[in-house]
Amino acid sequence: MTPRLAIAVFVSVAMLCITSCRAPAETAVDDVPSLEGDFERATLTIESDDGLRHEFDVYLANTPDQQRRGLMFVRKMPETTGMLFTYEDTAYHSMWMKNTYISLDLIFARLDGSISSVIHAAQPLSLTSRGSIEPVNYVLELNAGVARKLNIGNRSRLILNAGGD
């Protein structure tokens, strides 16, 4: 084999490896559907401070593994979608934004669904722990700005509808 032919073969093999051995496309982690296999879904109604009702399609983070993952690596989410963290224990619960690329509103709720507190626009990728001001059983994550836009506050209430997806 001539040196020129050897170089051509090497370059061809290298190019083949580069195109077939690269990491999965970024869209695999960009889309909310990547959560589909790992989380159940349900419909959540929020009765806002002004008495209006708003429906959300939520992913349920019920297990410790699901709660550790949360919305990490999600880069966009429809405005009427969120993630509801459910805890059996009534306790002080906190969240961080590690590997979370979108800004989120964090809504902390008591066992009866009444809202304890809201943290608006948690900073993406932050390792700062953001917690409840009292013991709660639920944390709802929505896109930043949704809580203010829909008037979700201390007089609001979460209603988890039975028979979600």
| Torsions phi, psi for 16 (to 5 deg) | -60, -45
Residue-level pLDDT at 34 = 73
Q: Is the pLDDT of residue 19 over 50?
A: no
What is the rounded average pLDDT of the residues 81-87? 98
Domain extents in the chain = 28-161
For the chain, what is the largest distance between any 2 Cα atoms, rounded to a whole number of angstroms? 81
Cα 131 from Cα 137, distance rounded (Å): 12
Phi and psi, residue 41, nearest 5°: -125, 155
At residue 4, the pLDDT reads 57
What number does CATH give the domain 28-161?
2.60.120.1140
Overall average pLDDT of the 132-153 stretch: 98
Mean pLDDT, to the nearest integer, of 91-120? 97
CA of 142: how far to CAs of 17, 19, 126, 163, in Å?
Answer: 41, 37, 16, 21
